[in-house]
Amino acid sequence: MTGRGCGSAALFAVAAFLAWYSFGITVEMETFPGFRPNRTGFAIFFVLAAAGAASAALTLGGRRSRLALTATACVAAALVWRVHTIAPALHCWDHNTVGRNDDGSFNCYDL
């Protein structure tokens, strides 16, 4: 494996970790009803960082590499799912606390 291939693999690993971490920091907020700290801004930051890392990895690995294209598609699918799951709480962007209702919607609070 060349240096470019190793660098691309490392960037894909970073992108996957950032996507996973984006899910992890808000899992409690999305799972249980009640008041939780609002971490949607951090989640979106990690989504954007993961997208940038995956894009850099694809560029480094070469656009004709099937493995790089497949890895990019997998990271992109995870990021699309992440944005889909965090979207109901995005309207609370400028509040420090969110309250999850039983139906999955969120109310914004400043506690």
Residue range 24-79, pLDDT digits in tens: 998 877 777 778 888 898 999 999 999 999 999 999 988 778 888 999 999 999 99
User: Which domain covers residue 58, as residue numbers?
Assistant: 3-109
Report how many domains make up the chain: 1
pLDDT band with cut points at 50, 70 and 90 for residue 106? confident
- In order of 18, 75, 77, 87, the CA distances from 81 in angstroms are 14, 10, 6, 10
Confidence grade of residue 89 (pLDDT, cut at 50, 70, 90)? confident
* pTM for this entry: 0.87
